[in-house]
């Protein structure tokens, strides 16, 4: 865990820490806004942490909604595991549910970006009563996109020996953040914040396990979860908004975005908000649009 943050990072991310013990680990989460069992839950992916939501949390709280933003194991201020198996997606789902239980969350609007999709939708599978609404942003449900299937290095990541040798001791995915985020995070306090968990703990943390958990087809450990999410989507009759970066090469508009719109019963009620020039980390490009979508869905889901 990281009990204290450097002052320059606290200036950008001024939220009081909250901690809970789950399965022998200490996990961190942000908890802002008026106390309520109805909550907007902001779920990050690889290789980020709740710092990604620093510009999104305040306007949601200011609109009168409670906001919880967890750091998964191996991310942000939470503990890091020692073995790749500790980072299985099923474990991320169960640990995130434990965080929500510790925070007293009874109903949630999930903002899902990157791995936030399989984790948030996986939580909805495990406990349908929690799901109040969805904001989907440059995310997926566990299966590889066209990008993952066509790029040779992604298949190398899945190799049992080559993957760890090539990627476990490098910051490959943090460096990819430079290619998928705006220039203002490429240096200074923001860049230090994204690197801090790996400087403190050493090693790759969760960043090796994430890409290896993307299913490339039948037989992959994540495929049953992806299949279950896909099968359950037509039953998720909750308010939905989609906010999508037009320049994302990982989850390009018209692929996962279009399939979510078609598959979710209320996916077509509102057009996808396409953010021109925005890449994968949409939170860094369009925080106002992301927070506005969360507030709109929360007002509808929570009848406010």
Q: Which residues are catalytic?
A: 114, 248, 280
Say if CB 225 and CB 122 are below 8 A apart. Answer: yes
Strand partners, 28: 19
C-beta separation of 123 from 97 below 8 A: yes
Question: 3-state class of 28 per DSSP?
Answer: strand
Please spell the DSSP secondary structure of 179-210, one letter per residue. HHS-GGGSSHHHHHHHHHHHHHH-S-TTTTHH
Contact partners, residue 210, CB within 8 Å, separation at least 6: 45, 46, 47, 87, 115, 173
DSSP designation for 1: -
CA distances from 88 to 155, 194, 262 (A): 18, 22, 28
- ∠ CA 141-264-220, nearest 5°, is 20
């Amino acid at each position: 865990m990281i009990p204290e943050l450097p002052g320059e990072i606290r200036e950008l991310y001024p939220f009081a820490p909250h901690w809970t013990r789950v399965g022998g680990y200490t996990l961190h989460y942000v908890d802002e806004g008026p106390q309520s069992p109805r909550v907007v839950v902001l779920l990050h992916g690889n290789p980020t942490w709740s710092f990604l939501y620093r510009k999104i949390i305040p306007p949601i709280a200011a609109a009168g909604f409670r906001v919880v933003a967890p750091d998964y194991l191996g991310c942000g201020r939470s503990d890091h595991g020692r073995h790749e198996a500790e980072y299985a997606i099923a474990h991320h789902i169960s640990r995130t549910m434990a965080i929500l239980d510790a925070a007293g969350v009874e109903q949630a609007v999930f903002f899902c970006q990157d791995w936030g999709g399989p984790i948030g939708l996986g939580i909805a599978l495990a406990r349908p009563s929690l799901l109040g609404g969805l904001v989907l942003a440059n995310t997926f449900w566990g299966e590889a996109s066209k990008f993952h299937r066509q790029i040779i290095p992604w298949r190398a990541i899945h190799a049992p020996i080559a993957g760890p040798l090539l990627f476990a001791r490098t910051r490959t995915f943090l460096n990819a953040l430079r290619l998928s985020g705006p220039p203002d995070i490429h240096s200074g306090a923001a860049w230090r914040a994204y690197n801090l968990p790996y400087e403190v703990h050493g090693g790759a943390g969760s960043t090796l396990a994430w890409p290896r958990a993307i299913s490339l087809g039948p037989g992959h450990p994540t495929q049953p979860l992806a299949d279950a999410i896909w099968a359950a989507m037509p039953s998720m009759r909750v308010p939905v908004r989609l906010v999508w970066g037009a320049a994302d090469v990982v989850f390009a508009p018209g692929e996962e975005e279009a399939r979510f719109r078609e598959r979710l019963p209320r996916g077509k009620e509102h057009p996808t908000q396409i953010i021109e020039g925005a890449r994968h980390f949409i939170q860094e490009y369009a925080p106002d649009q992301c927070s506005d979508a969360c507030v709109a869905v929360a007002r509808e889901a929570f009848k406010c």
